């Protein structure tokens, strides 16, 4: 469970004229997909707003059950079939996710890899209470060398889903929140909502405007709890997703072991403290935040380019800031003296991506 949002919606009560006459808002807060979800609708009459929020909550809870990676669910049924080298009819609730998840995995050079469910389970991040130490090194090595990938999946003559590789286990933890937020945003738009924020533990999508201005979103400082690095003005239909090493972790022998794994090493990725991505599609923003976190400092631009993402902010392990040109142009740093290293999104040449990172 995340106990603290990575991002804060900042209503600048003192500075903003919009805040003097705030638009009428109705909130709903609940737990789903392992995080605190907060949905806020603006200027929607109360009975209709409550009806829509009921539908939103139902949708999130349904997705929580559908995509659960360790409690009995369509995902665990599929994973069991793969482990037993059986093909299985694709559950309806998974069918729409497979192609986009595979496309994003390939584009990221498999740094975003929803096929590493076994590795995630081995680390114990598939649990309400976290382990107190890393798993045995040989077990990690065995799973890394089995190279589970989304591209190991294929359909048989009857259209059933099969895996060529029994080490594949699906885990949509790096992507499900984005997908669910996208679904809920469409549900609200179809219901006639123009202005809303859907926030799942700090990962969010905005619709419309906040009164007469754009949304103002704070990006959390991974080094200082409750502090923001800076703020972004966000327009209609933009998603802001952050992956950070401060969300889920345990400390062993003074080292922090967090929940974003580098599929190349089998260990928590070490090249970043947090990555924030802005993109119109929340599922892309979610997958990219995870992938670019794994890519790490200096190496993320090539992967961002391949994933079709151009607004990125990365906090390096040393605490310096790297941003894409499009992000640098809009980010307002809390401390304007702080250096922002602007990195161009280069077109990756044949040698820019390593073996594991090369798309199949
Ligand atoms: P959060 O869920 O905290 O916002 P992410 O979106 O980065 O953070 O998702 C992290 C989750 O994604 C992990 O809990 C795990 O289930 C899964 N995961 C971990 N490493 C990877 C990876 N390299 N590729 C895809 N999914 C991953
Ligand atoms: Mg993610």
Cβ of 294 below 6 Å from ligand 1: yes
Cβ burial, residue 133 (10 Å; 0-12/13-18/19+): exposed
- The answer to the question of residue 199 being in a domain is no
Encoded tokens for 359: 């798309």
Q: How high does pLDDT run on average in the chain?
A: 90
pLDDT at 131 over 60: yes
Cβ burial, residue 158 (10 Å; 0-12/13-18/19+): exposed
Tell me the residue range of the domain where 221 lies: 204-342
DSSP 210: B
C-alpha–C-alpha distance, residues 229 and 247, integer Å = 16
**Least confident window among 78-87, 206-215, 219-228, 247-256:** 247-256
- The answer to the question of residue 159 being in a domain is no
- Contacts of residue 92, Cβ cutoff 8 Å, sequence gap at least 6: none
C-alpha–C-alpha distance, residues 87 and 85, integer Å = 7
In a 3-state reduction of DSSP, which class is residue 184? Answer: helix
- The answer to the question of residue 271 being in a domain is yes
How many structural domains is the chain composed of? 1
Instruction: Express each pLDDT in 242-274 by its tens digit.
Output: 999 887 888 888 888 999 999 999 999 999 999
- The answer to the question of residue 331 being in a domain is yes
DSSP 239: E
Encoded tokens for 232: 């972004």
pTM: 0.91
In a 3-state reduction of DSSP, which class is residue 142? Answer: helix
- The answer to the question of residue 305 being in a domain is yes
In a 3-state reduction of DSSP, which class is residue 344? Answer: coil
CA-nearest residue for atom 4, ligand 1, is 243
C-alpha–C-alpha distance, residues 191 and 48, integer Å = 9
Query: Cα-atom radius of gyration of the chain, to the nearest Å?
Result: 20
Closest CA to 94 of 171, 196, 3: 171
Instruction: Express each pLDDT in 2-12 by its tens digit.
Output: 333 444 444 43
- The answer to the question of residue 21 being in a domain is no
- Determine the pLDDT at residue 352: 42
- Determine the pLDDT at residue 5: 42
Torsions phi, psi of 186, nearest 5? -65, -40
Cβ of 259 below 6 Å from ligand 1: yes
- The answer to the question of residue 3 being in a domain is no
Cβ of 247 below 6 Å from ligand 1: yes
Q: How far is the CA of 114 from the centre of ligand 2 (A)?
A: 10
In a 3-state reduction of DSSP, which class is residue 202? Answer: coil
- The answer to the question of residue 248 being in a domain is yes
Percent of the chain with pLDDT strictly greater than 90: 81
- Determine the pLDDT at residue 351: 43
Cβ of 286 below 6 Å from ligand 1: yes
C-alpha–C-alpha distance, residues 320 and 340, integer Å = 8
- Determine the pLDDT at residue 254: 87
Q: How far is the CA of 24 from the centre of ligand 2 (A)?
A: 31
CA-nearest residue for atom 5, ligand 1, is 174
Instruction: Express each pLDDT in 296-333 by its tens digit.
Output: 999 999 999 999 999 999 999 999 999 999 999 999 99
Cβ of 120 below 6 Å from ligand 1: yes
C-alpha–C-alpha distance, residues 305 and 345, integer Å = 6
Give the CATH number, domain containing residue 215: 3.10.520.10
Q: For ligand 2, an ion, list residues with CB under 5 A.
A: 174, 286, 289-290
Instruction: Evaluate whether 207 touches 193 at the Cβ level (below 8 Å).
Output: yes
3-state secondary structure 68-109: CCCCCCHHHHHHHHHHCCCCECCCCCCHHHHHHHHHHHHHCC
CA-nearest residue for atom 12, ligand 1, is 174
C-alpha–C-alpha distance, residues 291 and 269, integer Å = 10
173, 200, 282, 289, best to mutate for ligand 1 pocket (most atoms within 8 Å of CB): 173
Instruction: Evaluate whether 144 touches 263 at the Cβ level (below 8 Å).
Output: yes
Instruction: Evaluate whether 201 touches 225 at the Cβ level (below 8 Å).
Output: no
């Amino acid at each position: 469970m995340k106990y603290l949002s990575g991002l804060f919606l900042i209503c600048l009560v003192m500075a903003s004229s919009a805040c003097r006459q705030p638009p009428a808002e109705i909130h709903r807060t609940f737990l789903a997909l392992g995080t605190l979800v907060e949905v806020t609708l603006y200027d929607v009459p109360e009975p209709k707003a409550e009806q829509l929020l009921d539908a939103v909550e139902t949708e999130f809870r349904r997705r929580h059950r559908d995509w659960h990676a360790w409690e009995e669910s369509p995902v665990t049924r599929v994973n069991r079939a793969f482990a037993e080298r059986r093909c299985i009819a694709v559950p309806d609730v998974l069918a729409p996710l497979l192609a986009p998840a595979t496309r994003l995995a390939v584009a990221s050079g498999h740094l975003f890899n929803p096929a590493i469910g076994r590795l995630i389970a081995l680390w114990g991040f598939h649990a309400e209470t976290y382990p107190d130490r890393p798993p045995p090194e040989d077990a990690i090595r065995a799973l890394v060398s089995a190279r589970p990938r989304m591209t190991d999946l294929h359909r048989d003559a009857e259209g059933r889903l099969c895996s060529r590789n029994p080490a594949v286990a699906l885990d949509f933890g790096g992507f499900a929140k984005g997908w669910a937020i996208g679904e809920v945003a469409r549900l609200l738009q179809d219901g006639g909502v123009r202005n809303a924020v859907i926030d799942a533990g700090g990962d969010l999508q905005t619709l419309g405007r906040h009164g007469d201005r754009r949304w103002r979103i704070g990006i959390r400082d991974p080094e200082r709890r409750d502090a923001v690095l800076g703020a972004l003005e966000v327009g209609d239909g933009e998603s802001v997703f952050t992956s950070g090493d401060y969300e889920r972790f345990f400390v062993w022998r003074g080292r922090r072991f967090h929940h974003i794994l580098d599929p190349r090493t089998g260990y928590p990725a070490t090249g970043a403290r947090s990555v924030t991505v802005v993109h119109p599609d929340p599922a892309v923003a979610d997958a990219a935040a995870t992938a670019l976190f794994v890519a790490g400092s200096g190496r993320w631009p090539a992967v961002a380019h391949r994933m079709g993402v151009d607004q990125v902010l990365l906090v390096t392990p040393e605490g310096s800031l790297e941003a894409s040109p499009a992000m640098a142009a809009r980010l307002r740093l809390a401390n304007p003296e702080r250096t922002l290293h602007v990195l161009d999104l280069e077109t990756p040449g044949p040698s820019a991506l390593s073996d594991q990172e090369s798309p199949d």
